[in-house]
Amino acid sequence: MNILPKPARLCGVVILSTMLLAGCVSRPQPLYYWGDYQAQVYGHFTGEKGPEEQIAALEAVREEALAEGKALPPGFQAHLAMLYGRTGRSERLVEQLEAEKKQFPESTTFMDFLLKKFLPQVDAKVSQ
């Protein structure tokens, strides 16, 4: 003897099937490879880590992203450029700002502003 009417059983089968299939769905992959980037930014703002230590860690994150064929997140290369600027490596600063601008064209205005701000300093160091 059936306890439930036929439409209720059918509805139950549909719900159960949907739940089972939903469990098989894979997680969407993130757009960017974040690695240890967020921890490095936090360390920068709290003063826990120096620029050289952060540069080494971020370069390692970049190598991991390249090895996995994933894109770096927005601001990653600009942050790295800022760190290079703090350590006096102006050429690397310019390289990173140009790379950020190339990867994220919407940042062009801000990256151009930063380049204009730092290029006179870079030119002055080169001419000395």
- Residue 127 above 50 pLDDT? no
Cβ pair 51, 82 in contact under 8 A:
no
Q: What pLDDT does 75 receive?
A: 95
Domain boundaries, the chain: 37-122
Q: What pLDDT does 122 receive?
A: 55
Query: d(Cα 114, Cα 101) in Å, to the nearest integer?
Result: 11
What would the mean pLDDT of 96-114 be, rounded to a whole number? 96
Q: Which H or E run includes 80?
A: helix 76-86
- Of 84, 69, 77, 71, the C-alpha closest to 107 is 77
Confidence of residue 11 (pLDDT cuts 50, 70, 90): confident
Q: What is the pLDDT of residues 75-96, one digit of tens each?
A: 999 999 999 999 999 999 999 9
Cβ pair 106, 91 in contact under 8 A:
no
Q: What pLDDT does 17 receive?
A: 74
The pTM (predicted TM-score) of the whole model is: 0.73
